Amino acid sequence: LYTRLLPNYQPKTCPKITVLSRRQFTAVLGASVLASFLPISAGATQMPEAKNPPSMQAEILDADGHAFHIDDFKGMPVLVNFWATWCAPCIAELPALNQAATSLADIDLVILLVSIDRGGPAKALPFLNDRGIVETEAKSGMRFGFDRKANLPREMEVSGVPTSFLLSSDQTKSWLFKGPFEWDQPDMLTHIRTLVG
């Protein structure tokens, strides 16, 4: 449920097909079936510890190509989610993030979806719009960022996608979430309110 980022972070070609023995195939199939019964938020009940935020000075672009920084959102809690259109677990959690943006509007939470697709907005925006995920006009709520070269996730030492950072409103504390989560579930919403409250 977590796609590792390689130095060349976006796949350009289809992966090589590997022929598995019957024993290897059975092991892989068994692991896949087991994973299908595990909740997507397997780690959600155990919240990460607060840490100092990583360095996050790299610029990202908005849909119009204007540069901005994460610290532009100081004064509001921010959930930064790194994702890509080629990452299946990222796609799986997008609806939950969209719902969480609505559910947490009362605490002025910013959910910043940062796409690392090489195609930038031309690739990611239609993908999001087709799934009913739109950017809010208010400063809080759902916001989009685009980082074609993945400079910001590299600076923040992200090793794979999806990865999310929850930042306190003064950006002095952060919580790291690796993998997809059920962001819209009541227990997760309560945890977020508690952490940033």
Q: Which of 35-39, 117-121, 136-140 is modeled with the greatest confidence?
A: 117-121
Residue 67 DSSP code: E
pLDDT tens, position by position, 69-114: 999 999 999 999 999 999 999 999 999 999 999 999 999 999 999 9
Closest CA to 63 of 130, 153, 146: 146
Q: What angle do CA 174, 175, 178 make, to 5 degrees?
A: 135
48-76 pLDDT, tens digit each: 889 999 999 999 999 999 999 999 999 99
Q: In DSSP terms, which residues pair with 114 in a beta bridge?
A: 82, 145
Q: How is residue 19 annotated by DSSP?
A: P
Amino acid at 78: V
CA–CA dist 88, 30 (Å, integer): 20
pLDDT in tens, 8-37: 565 554 444 444 555 554 444 444 434 433
Distance (Å, whole) CA 69 – CA 33: 41
Least Cα distance to 196 among 63, 64, 50 occurs for: 50
